[in-house]
Amino acid sequence: MTATSTSSTTEAVPLLCPRCATRPAGLPRAPFRGPFGEELRRRVCATCWEDWTRAEVMVINELKLNFMEPTAQEILTAHMREFFALDGALPR
């Protein structure tokens, strides 16, 4: 019996944006500080981020979010996670 050595070349496969699943993920910089901002920088493409900046305004206006209330940012973040399908859900 001869031992066959298989050399596995692990090429870096570009991570696709979970929203569009067609463009490589990665923003030039994190949109805000902290672990969630870093997650967005690594996982979201620039085109989908631009889409979110427009959708974000609609979410804030439709839900009448008041950022003086502590839960407003949590609500917006939940909508952002859903928009980008960061938790495995299909994007809207």
> What residue has token string 């609609």?
58
Three-class SS string for 12-56?
CCCCECCCCCCCECCCCCCCCCCHHHHHHHHHCCHHHHHHHHHHH
pLDDT for 91? 55
Query: Which pLDDT does position 8 carry in this prediction?
Result: 46
Band (5; pLDDT cuts 50, 70, 90): very low
Q: What is the pTM of this model?
A: 0.76
Contacts of 60 (CB under 8 A, 6+ apart): 76
Residue 23's pLDDT is 87
Task: Please write the tens of the pLDDT for every residue from 21-73.
Answer: 888 889 999 998 999 999 999 999 999 999 999 999 999 999 999 999 989 99
Q: Are 86 and 39 in contact (CB under 8 A)?
A: yes
Q: What share of the chain is helix, strand, coil (3-state, %, to 5)?
A: 40, 0, 55
Average pLDDT over residues 62-85: 95
